Amino acid sequence: MQDHHSAFIVLEGSDGSGKGTQFRLLTERLKAVGHEVAVFDFPRYKHSSSYFVKRYLNGDYGPASEISPYTASIFYALDRYEASPQIREALRAGKIVLANRYVGSNMAHQGAKFGSLAEQRGFFMWADSTEYQLLGIPRPTINLFLKVPPEISKQLINERADKISVALDEHEKNIEHLRKAVAAYDLLCQLFPRDFKEIDCVLDNKMRGIIEINDLIWETIKPLLPEPSRKGRNIVLNLDQPTNLNGSKSEQKTPEPGPRLIIKTKPPKNEGAVKLENILDLQKQMLAKSRLLKTINQRQLKNAIGLVTPLAYRRSEFKELLEERSALKTSPDDEPVSVNEIIEQLAGRVPISANDEPIKLLAANPRC
């Protein structure tokens, strides 16, 4: 059972949809706002549990199109089964679990091998039952499908292969498979709208910007996230740095300097600032409600409210004195101005109350 203080988010999509970049960017964005993040990238090529997956993708069992989708699905499912204890542990610890591909990849890529919608639906139900019920692997909070037309995906795949000198696997080589996989993902979003959400990465037949796509992802998952476990921080991320989440099967070229994304987080307001805002808000409410009561003297109420307004919010009343203080040039030998002296001068400029009583400033250290 998933802890309500955690979330399990999966990025799905056909090959060449930019999942790797968005996965890395989303990981850093979650960390930047204060979340603890556990990442899982499937298939996990560095683990022995991916043995059959690697042989399948290398064509050791024959062309991928000739391997039964049920058989190939077991290869991937066992890799996820091996990782499931770590996923559960991260969820229990209150972390955000982020996975690059998961069960949805089995459903789409293997489901693309079927010729009819009825067969695809039956396969989807079998895959769901096999992995989540029979194997008991954790079910994600949400699966996000990064939708990119197959023609654009194929172009991006070729560019990536040339950039990092990596050989294409059986699925990446086949544009017809990419086309069917995108259609299968579309069907998943239609059949299971609570589990699968589509992120349209293309606008007017052109790929959206990396940051724009990430913003769409962020707005989708934000309502599902728990409160951050720590204070946020700013980060700088090189968007052109190749993503090697699993350890590729070949050497990567050294990336040239590219654009960077700066994620800034607003520091949380301190307790004092929050209290001051609450005071000012209450004052506005009191004045607004008092206008409905004829028995209340508006002038007296406004004066009374003004007396409890923090000095930091009354700069207009003390503008002349503050300008005088800021204009003073003091040498290192000058004695610092007494805090009490400043209080007395400020108090002398505050209007007398309705009862003609002198005002007493209780603040020991005025913040003005």
pLDDT band at residue 77 using 50, 70 and 90 as cut-offs: very high
**Considering the domain boundaries, does residue 356 fall inside one?**
no
Task: Mark whether 122 and 245 lie in a shared domain.
Answer: yes
- Ordered DSSP codes for 306-349: HHTS-GGG-GGGGHHHHHHHHH----TTSPPPPHHHHHHHHHHH
Reduced to 3 states, what is the DSSP secondary structure of residue 96? strand
- Indicate the average pLDDT of the chain: 78
d(CA 17, CA 13): 6
> In degrees rounded to 5, what are phi and psi of residue 290?
-65, -25
Task: Mark whether 190 and 148 lie in a shared domain.
Answer: yes
Range of the domain at 96: 7-263
Task: Mark whether 217 and 275 lie in a shared domain.
Answer: no
Task: Mark whether 166 and 232 lie in a shared domain.
Answer: yes
pLDDT one-digit tens code per residue, 276-329: 666 777 777 777 777 777 677 777 777 776 666 655 555 555 555 556 655 554
d(CA 48, CA 293): 77
Residues, the chain, total?
A: 368
Angle at 111 between CA 161 and CA 164, to 5 degrees: 10
Residues 14 and 152: beta-carbon distance below 8 Å:
no
Task: Mark whether 162 and 304 lie in a shared domain.
Answer: no
Domain endpoint, select from 263, 295, 328: 263
**Considering the domain boundaries, does residue 359 fall inside one?**
no
Task: Mark whether 248 and 283 lie in a shared domain.
Answer: no
Domain endpoint, select from 263, 298, 333: 263
Task: Mark whether 65 and 88 lie in a shared domain.
Answer: yes
In this model, does residue 48 exceed pLDDT 70? yes
Task: Mark whether 311 and 163 lie in a shared domain.
Answer: no
In this model, does residue 346 exceed pLDDT 60? no
Task: Mark whether 66 and 187 lie in a shared domain.
Answer: yes
Tally of structural domains, the chain: 2
**What is the predicted pLDDT for the residue at 282?**
76
Task: Mark whether 82 and 185 lie in a shared domain.
Answer: yes
Task: Mark whether 248 and 280 lie in a shared domain.
Answer: no
**Considering the domain boundaries, does residue 252 fall inside one?**
yes
pLDDT one-digit tens code per residue, 79-98: 999 999 999 999 999 999 99
Q: What is the CATH number of the domain that holds 158?
A: 3.40.50.300
